[in-house]
Structure 1
Amino acid sequence: MTELPPLSAETLWGIIQGEIPDETVNRLLWDCLGYRYDPDTRQWDAAAVHSDWSDRYPEPPDFIGSRPATVQLTRSIPPEDKQLLKEQLGFTGYKVGELNPTLTRRATAANWLLSYMRQQGIER
């Protein structure tokens, strides 16, 4: 697996604008959630994943391709962090003509990552 980009404002904008591949977006989320891939066994280890996630997803879900996984991701963002994309990045949303499920899921992923960064004290 290739190295993940750093958690930064630039990376979040790359997610929102579709410049970062779906697989990389998923891998960033998986990493932050605690999923670890063991190349020796070729299996995912969810020992460090909170039971809210590991019970439902013993293997990491495809957040870009799966509505249920993205709904759970949305629900896991604390209420006070729901507007971080707007408040911290100035993201005003997508235009109606460009809106599609993939872009919506990417915005959710970016908002979740921004919330994670705030909770972990990671500078953007």
Structure 2
Amino acid sequence: MPWPLSRMLLLQILEDRCSDRFVCERIWERLGYQPAEPHWCAGPDTPPDWAEAFPRAPELIAERPASVRLTRSIPKEHKQLLKQQLSFAGYRIGELYPRRTRRATAVNWLLAWLAQQEEPLAEQGPLGPELPTPVDPVEGHPGDLPVR
């Protein structure tokens, strides 16, 4: 059962108050990747194009090719859900870092996934392990992989 999505959780992701790994896991589980030591791997429910391109679950925040594929996989009719459902107007100029823009893409993908499942976005739900906003948004949280 995937981690429940809620407005509060998606805002936690946008506000950079949880690890990149936690964000990736919320998408991996919806793409059918399965936890295995030491990496998550494609499972029988992973879409074939994802499983072929990424037999191991891709680092969606740290790696550009994975982030690009995630962006392209959002159906056109769902590209504005971030703005429509969360009133997210984007980051200010001084806040534009690849990690943060990729987190916004991840949240938009999760909203699109909900829309495709015809599921509403709950207001409340469990949050990820809370972390303070990183001092250096380029570096991220301790343990976050470097962005390439």
Q: What TM-score, normalized by structure 2, do the two folds share?
A: 0.76
Distance 2:99 2:46 in 1: 25
Give the Cα separation in 2 of the matches to 1:60 and 1:42.
7
Aligned twin of 1:121: 118
Which of 96, 103, 123 aligns to 1:99? It is 96
Deviation at 1:103, TM superposition (A): 0.3
Q: Deviations over 1:38-79 (max 9, x none)?
A: 46x976342210011000000100001011101000000000
Given that 1:8 and 1:123 are in contact with CA atoms closer than 8 Å, whether structure 2 keeps it comes out as no
Tell me, yes or no, if structure 1 residue 46 matches structure 2 residue 43.
yes
Secondary structure of 2:35 counterpart: strand
Following the alignment from structure 2 to structure 1, what is the Cα–Cα distance between the partners of residues 40 and 33?
A: 10
Identity %: 44
| Corresponding letter in the other structure for 1:78 | P
Asked if 1:72 is matched to 2:69, the reply is: yes
User: Within the alignment, does 1:11 sit opposite 2:26 as a pair?
Assistant: no
Q: Is the 8 A contact 2:42 2:51 kept in 1?
A: no
Q: 1:31 to 1:96 in 2, by over 3 A?
A: same
More helix by share: 1
For residues 43 and 5 of structure 1, what CA distance do their matches in structure 2 show?
Answer: 16
TM-score, structure 1 as length reference? 0.90
Name structure 1 gaps, 5 residues minimum.
Answer: none
The amino acid across from 1:24 in the alignment is F
2:22 partner amino acid: T
Q: Which residue of 1 aligns with 2:23?
A: 25
Whole-Å separation in 2 of the counterparts to 1:99 and 1:33: 27
CA distance in 2, matches of 1:78, 1:108: 12
Correspondence for 2:55: 58
In structure 1, what is the Cα distance between the partners aligned to 2:52 and 2:69?
12
Code of the residue aligned with 1:19 in structure 2: it is R
Alpha-carbon distance in 2 for matches of 1:96, 1:42: 35
Secondary structure of 1:55's counterpart equals helix
Q: How many residues align?
A: 121
Structure 1 contact 64–70 (Cα < 8 Å) conserved: yes
Moved over 4 A (4+): none
Following the alignment from structure 1 to structure 2, what is the Cα–Cα distance between the partners of residues 42 and 77? Answer: 25
